[in-house]
Copies of this chain bind each other. A is one copy, B any other.
Amino acid sequence: MSHAAIIDLRPMRAQRAVSDSCEIQSLRADQHDIVFYEGDAAGRYFKLIDGAMMLFRLLPDGRRQIVELLGPGDYFGLTLADEYQCTAEVLRPSRIAAYDRSACGEAGHFQQMLSEYLVGRHAAMHGHMVLLGRKSAMERIATFLAGLAGNVEEGEARIRLSMTRQEIADYLGLTIETVSRSFSDLRRRGVIAMERQDLILIADMSAITALTGDE
């Protein structure tokens, strides 16, 4: 929770990119870098080109809820308010494109792309609200793993977690201990194997699917 949180976004190239009407900068960022904090003035928005990030919000007493996980192609920092309403933190080495908010408002086909993107995220967030509001700890873990495994339906899948147990807990609305216990439980049952703390082999994908609470 208490990262050094040094803002250390290194430009990939100094000059503006002319390829896109309102791209102003391309950046590289490492794990634990903060792109913006909740409350920062919201002058730009971003696209994650490559890597992984998370968006989270904090309650005054320090409780954290990760509200979105982002992968390549995802936008973030989109807000109509003057300030960002969440904090954006890098989970693993990433490339990020920054856009000027004011310059992009009018760009036509960009609007189109944007709303399509937002509609998609909308649905994903509905799914996550079901998880947070109605699923048991094990169902949350299984849903999380199934999501990371992507389209793999059956058999094995290998997953790289770029999140700590604490981050997973804050994403799933659980505690670190419950996350750990759930993993251990799955391991004992032979459903998964942990090749490393952050490298999970799903031995039985259909077992995971069956545990999600969906379908």
Segment of A2-10, A111-119, A153-161, A199-207 engaged in the interface with chain B: A111-119
Distance A84 CA – B4 CA, assembled complex (angstroms): 43
Instruction: Encode contact with B along A71-103: 1 for CB under 8 Å, 0 otherwise.
Output: 000000011110001100000000000000000
| B-chain residues with CB within 8 Å of residue A118 when the two chains form the complex | 115, 118-119, 122
**A125 at the B interface (CB under 8 A):** yes
Distance A132 CA – B126 CA, assembled complex (angstroms): 12
| B-chain residues with CB within 8 Å of residue A125 when the two chains form the complex | 67, 122, 125, 129
| B-chain residues with CB within 8 Å of residue A129 when the two chains form the complex | 65, 67, 125, 128-129, 132
**A195 at the B interface (CB under 8 A):** no
**A187 at the B interface (CB under 8 A):** no
- Report yes or no: A132 in contact with B173, Cβ–Cβ below 8 A: yes
- Report yes or no: B78 in contact with A119, Cβ–Cβ below 8 A: yes
**A1 at the B interface (CB under 8 A):** no
Enumerate 15 A-B pairs (CB-CB under 8 Å) in ascending A order. A57-B126, A59-B134, A59-B214, A60-B213, A60-B214, A63-B134, A65-B130, A80-B120, A111-B112, A118-B122, A125-B125, A125-B129, A129-B129, A132-B133, A134-B173
**Chain A residues proximal to chain B, CB less than 8 Å:** 55, 57, 59-61, 63-65, 67-68, 78-81, 85-86, 105, 108, 111-112, 114-116, 118-123, 125-130, 132-135, 170, 172-173, 213-215
Across the A-B interface, give the 7 residue pairs with the lowest CB-CB distance, nearest first: A133-B173, A132-B132, A118-B118, A115-B115, A67-B126, A111-B111, A65-B130
